Chains A and B, each alone.
Chain A
Amino acid sequence: MEYTEALENYTRKIADAAVEDMVLNMGPQHPSTHGVLRLELITDGEIVKEVIPHIGYLHRCFEKHAESLTYQQTIPFTDRMDYLASMNNSHAFVMGVERMMGIDKDIPKRVEYIRVLVCELNRIASHLIAIGTYGIDIGAFTPFLWCFRDREHIMGMLEWASGSRMLYNYIWVGGLFYDLPVGFEERCREFIEYFKPKMVELNQLLTDNQVFISRTANVGVLPLDVAINYGCSGPMLRGSGLKWDLRRIDGYSVYPELEFDIPVGTGLMGSVGDCWDRYKVRVDEIEQSLLMIEQCLNRLQNELKRTADFDPRAKLPRKITPKAQDYYVRCEGAKGELGFYFMADGRSEIPTRVRARGPSFNNLSVLPELAKGVMIADLIAIVGSIDFVLGEVDR
């Protein structure tokens, strides 16, 4: 049968490999796979000949759910895709719906700045996890604890704003759940003052650590053309040396009004596109996010100050029925290009088809290419440097 041919080929390949080489299962419960990912390795001694990823252990039918719920009801489901950067997910989803409704220009400036503020806070939290867990993959335990300690401050602040620690449902179509709580801006400034020296410490401990550099430099080199062809994006693509950031390219929300740099991999410790470069891009992005947060706070405390009559729900549409059309929205999530594709029929409040393009999904698909012929210990370093979240890979 034509449709099952690939499955038979795969079964035969594994059976043959079990005789000649060794088949090794990494995951789905291995801690260094960052979730429920199963990698089937065909190994020759310590050398990995081939990697076959098996995903889907965390599949929660996002697209099927979205086909039976209204746009507003789907927002909590987007939070659960990349659960380490929920704000970025709902921001992308909401932006797409607002553009289809034609209300994206009517959103108050204060709302837009709050959105960017919480998104960048969430991006820092996501990168902190990436850095901390990458350290623990390589065998450095302390950075993990330091990163989680600092991330906890961000979690606390976002909980204060939205009422939830990780899955916020804070950004709504046309506005926000609530305005920022009184005193949030001051607390946020305190955090930045606290956090800046902590990043210096972290760099001393991990980034410039010779053991860490030896484990990551010149390992898992991803050439730029391969990265583009595999649809890699975010720190993965920038680590290979391309200045490609949708916050700049598309200039959505209020990002054109903010000043920030786009860090790229330079091959400082090894060659361009190695694991250390990808790691370093994330470290540098944290600093850029801090700059953006300060600029947002400056606006939010001066010309866009909180007023008694300001209602972030004022522009909320009563009924969300976009015109009949298709729309693909993309934005820069914490892991890369996050896209949502909507098909609206113009009559119903429920979309006929929703497709989510998770950046981790494409970033992970390059793994079999990267891992060909590496040592098993290096495979752990490569997997960690991709920084995927299985919630987004499986959706």
Chain B
Amino acid sequence: MSFEEIKSLLANKFGAEVIAGEETGGLQSALLILPDLIAQVCLELRDNPSTYFDFLSCITAVDYGVEANRFGVVYHLASIPYKTQLTLKISRENNRDEADLPSFPSITSVYRAADWHEREQFDMLGIFFEGHPDLRRLLLPDDWEGYPLRKDYTTVDKYYKGIQID
């Protein structure tokens, strides 16, 4: 199924407002999706017999820079029966306050592979995934402070738990 056909399929199913835009300049086109509907969109793309995007390759959270104050998540889906790939993107503005993390729906109910991917992105960029069954830090220790892959992350501390950092 081509990119345009997928777009119209989603627009028919969820209404035209589900597609917030598209990026077609590069080698791979991406669909920008309304953040609140991402889990339903993934479920539809996975189960619809004409798309069957049954394989979640990767989830990437993105910090769009200190001035933009915008966080996003990029989903790379693949279809094993049709041998196709698709990129979905969602994004939302956020003021970078650590008490108010950017929040997106979790897609663990659709792809179990999303479990660890979402935990890692929560760990590294502080994206909160609503409805995730076990959203703990994955790679860093549980008591780590801050989110290292954010663009404004700095390690000013000279000490970590009383141990001097050179």
A-side residues, CB < 8 A to B, are: 2-3, 6-7, 9-10, 55-56, 59, 61, 63-64, 67, 99-100, 226, 228-231, 242, 244, 249, 323-328, 330, 337, 339, 341, 343, 352-353, 355, 357, 361-362, 365-366, 369, 394
Contacts and interface: CB of A to CB of B under 8 A. Distances in A.
18 contacts: A2-B128, A6-B133, A10-B136, A56-B141, A63-B124, A64-B149, A99-B27, A244-B80, A323-B26, A325-B26, A330-B78, A339-B58, A341-B58, A341-B76, A352-B65, A353-B60, A357-B76, A365-B116
Contact of B111 (A229, A339, A341): A229
Contact of B80 (A228, A323, A325, A366): A228
A228 B55 contact: yes
Contacts of A341: 58, 60, 74, 76
A3 B28 CA distance: 34
A242 B142 contact: no
A64 B154 CA distance: 12
Nearest to B120: A361
Contacts of A365: 112-113, 115-116
A230 B87 CA distance: 18
Interface string B121-146: 00010001000111111111110000
B57 A357 contact: yes
A57 to B, nearest CB: 9
A361 B113 CA distance: 10
A59 B63 CA distance: 20
B136 A6 contact: yes
Given A325-B25, A325-B28, A355-B58, 7 more contacts: A3-B128, A55-B138, A100-B26, A231-B57, A324-B25, A324-B26, A339-B76
B101 interface: yes
A2 B103 CA distance: 11
Contacts of B90: none
Nearest to A63: B149
A228 B27 CA distance: 26
A244 B82 CA distance: 12
Contacts of B55: 228, 231
A326 B136 contact: no
Interface residues of B, number: 43
A324 to B, nearest CB: 7
A361 B28 contact: no
Name the prevailing secondary structure of the A interface residues: mixed
A326 B87 contact: yes
B57 A328 contact: yes
A228 B83 CA distance: 14
A64 B148 contact: yes
A75 B116 CA distance: 25
Given A7-B136, A59-B139, A64-B148, A100 B124 contact: no
A337 B57 contact: yes
B113 A229 contact: yes
Interface in B71-103: 74, 76, 78, 80, 83, 85, 87, 101
A55 B120 CA distance: 11
Contacts of B78: 330
B45 interface: no
B30 interface: yes
A323 B134 CA distance: 39
Interface in B46-61: 54-58, 60
A257 to B, nearest CB: 19
B76 A56 contact: no
A282 to B, nearest CB: 21
B27 A355 contact: no
B62 interface: yes
B27 A325 contact: yes
Nearest to B124: A63
4 smallest beta-carbon distances between A and B, as pairs: A325-B26, A231-B113, A56-B139, A355-B60
A36 B28 CA distance: 37
Contact of B62 (A343, A366, A369): A343
B28 A327 contact: yes
B58 A357 contact: yes
B22 interface: no
B5 interface: no
Contacts of A362: 113, 116
A230 B112 CA distance: 5
A303 B113 CA distance: 45
A316 B55 CA distance: 35
B42 to A, nearest CB: 12
A328 B76 contact: yes
A142 B85 CA distance: 44
